[in-house]
Structures are given as C-alpha cells and as structure tokens.
Structure 1
Amino acid sequence: MNWKKIVLAVTILLSVCIYFLFFHKDKNLKYIPENADIVVLLDVKKATRQYISSFITHPSKWFEEGKKDENKISIKNSGLEIPDFLQIFHLNKTNISEWYTILEIEDKKKFSAFLKSWQFVNDGKNRFKNSRVFIKIEGEKCIVGTSNLNFNNIGKPFSQNFRNNELNADSFLKDGLGSISFITELRTQNFSIILNDDEIEVKNDENSINFESLITDLEKKTQFLQTELDSENIKKISSFFNKNLSDSISVNSLKMSANLLEVSDTIISYGYDDNFNEIEKVNYQKIVQPDYEILLQSSNPDKTWSYFQNKKWINPQNQFTAIPFQPNLISKNGMQILIKSARKSVKIQESRNQNFIFVKNNPLLFSSFKTLNNPIFKNIEYLFYGNKNQDYSVKIKFKKDKYPLILR
C-alpha cells in the first residue's frame, strides 16, 4: 500500500477526531427556564482547549503531581453528561445567592457512587445535599443548586414558548470563555467572560472604553476601598439587594473611601473573688475595623434623612446604625449627607467624574472573615467595577504566579 495514502488517511482521521473532540459544539440550550433573569454560559470545549494550550506551554507543570483525594470521584467519572455549554441560571425574584444548573444523567450507578464519595446526604424525595450544594433528581436529569428553596419553581424551558425552537448559544455568547446575560422583558444584555493569565474580566460586547489608566491611578492609593457612583449605578447595584431603596433615598451620587485598621477592643466582665466581692475584669482583644467616609449627594436631603429615621437607622447620638461598624457620625449639610467613622475618618479623594468601585486586597480581611481565609481570595490583588455611558467592565486581578489562572 502506498505510504502516502496511509499517512493522508491517518491525518484526515485524526483531524476529524480532533474537530469533534475539541471544536464541534452542540449550541442548543435545552434547560434555560422561562423565569430565568440571569444566565451564565461556559464554553466547555473552549476552556478545554485553553487549558491544553497553557499546559503544553508550561513544561514545569508536566512533572507536578496534583493533589488527589482517592476517596472522591471526579466530575469526569460522575456519570453526568457535561454539555458543550454549561448553563447556569438565576431565577427572577429570588435571592442573588441562588443559582442552578440542569445536567443529564448518563449512568445512575456511577452518579450514585459520585454522590456518596462527596458525602451527599439523601434528604428524601430524590434530594441530596452536602454543606454547600443541593441536588434534585428528576428522571434522567438532575438539578444542581446553591439552594433548594426554588427547585419546584424552575419554569418550563424557553423552547416551549417558541414552538420547540431551542435557544442557541450564539444568542448569548460571542467572544470569550463564557458569558453573563441579563434578561428582561425588553431586551437581553450580554457580557463576555474573558480569562487571561492573571485576571478575569467581564465586559459587554460593545465595550470600547479602556479603564486601565483609572485602575493604575487607584492602585497607587493606600485606601482599601474607593467608590464613586452616580444615581443610575446606585439604582442598578441596589436593585440586587432592594429594588425600592434607590428611589426611596433620592440619592444622586455616592462617594466612599475606607481603610482597614487593627485596633484593641476592651472587654469588661464581672466576677467574684473568694469572699464573693464583685470584681471587674478587663480583657483586650485585637479586632479589625474600617476608617471610612461616605458622602451622599441628594436631590431631596430632607426626604433621605426622613427615610433613614423611619428605618431607625439614625439613633439619638446621630450614629448611622445601618453600618455595623461603630461608632460613626451622620450629618446633613445643604444637599449633602456625610457619614464618617468617629475614631478617624478617611478623606474622600477629588472627584474623578467616573463610575467605579475599587477594592484592594488587605491581609486584615482574612482575620475578620473566615470565609475569605482561603488561597483563592488571598491571591486576589483587587476587584474593579467601572462604567461609562453604555460600557461596563468588571475585573478580578490576581497576583502574579508562574502558572496562568487556568492551571492553578
């Protein structure tokens, strides 16, 4: 047989296998429900290609032994079918911490072993849970969520509203490793998720604004937190927590600056000596508290002040109790309302006439918030949110490492 023909046939066969393994995708989105208001898509095959490319270009990674827990079965061997586009969604009018995805079960025996290896407890009625994840089995598929409160409220798929024409991934995702889409009755806003060596960036597809000069300037400052927002951004951000808050307080702009400081806290307790005389015991402990200053510009400061009072957020000592870090002082001067820490305030920098939130990582965070005391959060340098006109950008910057994020 002609060796050239054999080589050609093998090359064609190998190319076809590589195409179907790494490039061919089923773009139909079967399980996004009609009552979803936020959809996150992850291009699984693109993530696989990016991982392999990074692995090949970092030979030192080849000889590292990964930490494996022999008692736990990997997702790869879980008996679940991993779709080409992982579809994660949030339901309308539910807590922002509640997220769900639906996966098909290929092998129930393997899936049962997977649940057992990850210490999922059967909660009855085909429901399972461990410390953080909840699962409900429905026939040949399972619902995975960060909560079990709304398993029964997941609506029928969008496809049933469009004569069984399933949604296509191209409607949500253009470039990047994934996308975040906000769905309303009027329109859908898509934001690309881009994974670089040391950062994760989320931005809308039409974004033409470069926020790097602003970020560079903010990095030079010593403050832990710097914020400047107009009324539209306040409204959008507050809608995640309280849809009516922005309208109620009539705030046109917000500026904030804060530092973290470790201070000594005095704890006074009382006991009794051997003669049953009451004695005072004084102990000291180190706690982390912020020094901060918040400036609110209001179109109707009297309305804003009355709203705070009606909510009982202002006590007789003129302290703003909605902020848990005490003591502080709140005052009104013309169209402005100022809230600042009583011990030592942090002066707000000059106005940049931009909308941003910048949070710089600080080691003091980890002693105060145990949930942040893990390698992922410790390796973050800063979080940034920026907006100008119709352009939005969110960036999570990680510390430099010998490996890109996808290999860490």
Structure 2
Amino acid sequence: MNTPHTHHAAEPHPAAGPRTVSWTEDDGEHTARWRSESGAPPPARLVVADDRLPADTAYRLVCEGTGLLWRGDFHGARNLLQALARRVDRGPRRRRRTPPAAPAAGAAGDPRQAFHLHRKAQAERARKLGMLLVPLDAGYVIPLRRAPEVRAACTAAYGPGDAPSVVSLRELTGLIGAYEWQRNGVAVPALGGDRVHPRYGVFSPVRGEYVDLVAEAPLPAGTDTAFDIGTGTGVLAAVLARRGVRRVVATDQDPRALACARENLDRLVPGDRVEVVAADLYPAAEAGRAHLVVCNPPWLPGRPSSPVEYAVYDPGSRMLLGFLDGLAERLAPGGEGWLIISDLAERLGLRSRDELLGAFDRAGLAVAGRHDTRPRHPRAFDPADPLHTARAAEVTSLWRLTPRRVR
C-alpha cells in the first residue's frame, strides 16, 4: 500500500493578510496562498499525494482533516475526487452484525429537522471533498500533467493572479463550470430568448418561473419609474425595461453583482433607461420614489455557511424585512411593491405564513393581489432529493403590496 510521502502542519497567517498554507516537500518548506471562495479554512495538516494513493487511504486522511496536495495526473485527481464522493455519500462502513443507527430524534416527519440534518450533511460533505487540493502558479496555470486551461476562469473569479496558490479541486471545478455559464449565458424566455450572463458568485436565473411572474403581472397604472432591489444579474431590471418602464434603478451591494448587472444591461437594454447603483437595499433618497419596487430576496431564513450562500439564505430575514420596512415611504402614490418569494421556507418549518403576513402588517402594507407559479427545476421532480416532499409542493409567489390606508 502506498501512502503520501511528506507531511507537515498547515497554518493560516493572521487575518490581516491573505491566508497561506505550508507543507514539506523534497526536504524543503513551501508556502502558497490559500484560496477558498467558500471561506473554508486551510487544512490543519497537509500531505503531498499522487496517483499511487489508494482511494481508501485518501478517504481516511480527509476524514481525519488532512489535506491532499496533488502532484499526479490531473485526470487522476478528478477520478479520486469522484471516488471520495462515492465514499462520503455511502457513509462509514458498518460491521456486518452492527444494527443500523436509529433516525435522529424528531427527523421522521419533521421537515425542519430534516432540513437541518440535510444542511449538516451537505457541510460535512463539502468539508471532506474540499480536502483534495491542486496547485496554481502565479499566472493561474495548473502545473500538473493533462491539466486544463483555467486562467480565464480563475481570473474571472479571483481577479489577476499575483502569487502561487492552492485551491480545492472541488472549488476549481465549480469555477470552471461557472465560467462556462458566464461565457454561454442563460436563455431567458421573458427576454425573448436573449441570454443573461451570470458571473461567478452571482445567482443565475436558471429558475425562470420567478422571472416569468415579473414579466406577466400587470404593471401599476402610470408606471414610469421602478426600483429593482438586489438586482444580481440585472435580469428583472431588463424585463421591466423591456416592458416599457422608462426609468429603472437597479441596486446591489455586491461588487460582482454590480459589474455583472452593468454588463448584462448594457447589452440587453441599450440607452440609459437602467441605472445600476451600489446600495444596501434602496437607492439614495435623491432617486426619489418609484411607481413599482421589485425585490427577489433569498428565499430561506438562515445563516449562510459560506459567502456564496448569501443568494439562498437571508440571515434573520434581514433583506426581506428591510425591503418591507422601507417600501411604503419609497412608493409613489398608487404604486406597488412586488415581493417575489417561494413558500419553501414555510414547507420546511423555517417561517410560517402568519409570520410573513405579520411582517407585511408591521410595515404598514396591504396585499393587493398575488400571482403564483410552480417550480420547474429538476429537484422538484426528484424523489431521491432529501427535501423532495417540500420541493414538490413548493409555490413561488409574486405578492403585490401597497401602503395600508389609515382610517
């Protein structure tokens, strides 16, 4: 049995600068920048590995928290990652006479508990699979046999290269996939099939049902100004402009989203009808009031486990509540706020319908109408998905909100 041939502790540098990872190789000490868009810390221990490493040994090491810095064939690393994934998904082998473990208390029939167990399993899976690492030189070239060209994908995600670095193969694979989405784009039926090109780290409009809701709901009478709060790729701002809204202000606070939205909107909506501005929720008061304010916040209340999860999880429902609380004072007379949100959180026991309606009431808002649609994404029809029951029943809604009249 072959085992890794070097071993050394890896220690992150202080938070004042980029984190690093260190190891011993060829009787020398080596250090490189640690890259992790998920915010994962560098492994506490690091060994150098290649194609001679058996998958069972690799699995034991990653379960112990040991990172594997790959020096073999790149395709061998991909094969090992797949082998590790099979072992992670299979779980630990049990002795033949050991009875299966009982389900966690409260898990059976409890969607909230099932959701939290699912997230815990996802995080553990990501941790273990993130232990297989590949090197990048200062120009984002992978110094391994049969390695793919990744310079453009890494530059799109990380910016210009400046020093050698180490990244998990799992993250690198995600970067490559994201760059293909950015290059090829996503066709949006509500835009006549024109494509939106999402950047790495910006939520992609692959779930088109929420876009269709914005494309089909009746505009408030006289709408000539709209705000798109948390614009992301800019897809909803583009839909509103294509529907004839003369002025759209699209906001976001994420630099990647702002750059992505500007790029898409410059191409999809020629002229100056859409302004993209950096803002935490609403634009500055100088932007005035709008006849329509649209917001598609993250649909699940909860704490993201990594920066890229902020498109899915809204800690403390901050964005949802911030949008609602500021809406009445930013609407022009006769205007409406459109909240696009799924009821998946309700079906998972993370938020009740009464809590959502109570938030409307506290913000001084009344429901003028609601438009519903069913999801069309594959997981809604996959019985093997741990959350299939909730996903299969999920409804996405566009809530039409207006300031409540004071009697």
TM-score bin (small chain): under 0.3
TM-score (norm 2): 0.23
Structure (1 or 2) with the larger CA radius of gyration: 1
Larger RCO: 1 or 2 (CA < 8 Å, sep 6+):
1
Higher percent of residues as strand: 1
TM-score (norm 1): 0.23
